[in-house]
Amino acid sequence: SYAVTVQESYAHPFDQIYYTRCTDILNWFKCTRHRISYKTAYRRGLRTMYRRRSQCCPGYYESGDYCIPLCTEECVHGRCVSPDTCHCEPGWGGTDCSSG
């Protein structure tokens, strides 16, 4: 997981004043009223994001974006094709391709 700064919107409350007709003769039959209204505002926030991370199986090691098989003994005349398994060049044999 990792955190990212984002700009997010939210409903910001504010006091809205309005007038209604009423029986108050001193204020010309006009009375003040209040109500809570909301307007869109913006703020910075942190959002947690996730990314998938691969893991190599036992007997393999990570090299860049690839999982490479690991041979305990070096493949002398061949290449490692799976954990502790060498694929020998023609004319060579043995577990590490060293027998001619």
In the numeric block, the tokens 């590490």 are attached to 96
Structure token pair of residue 3:
């955190």
pTM of the complete model: 0.46
71-96 residue pLDDT tens = 999 999 999 999 999 999 999 999 99
- The amino acid that residue 39 corresponds to is K
Query: Which has the closest alpha carbon to 46: 20, 7, 88?
Result: 7
The SS3 assignment for 27 reads helix
11-41 residue pLDDT tens = 999 999 999 999 888 888 899 999 999 999 9
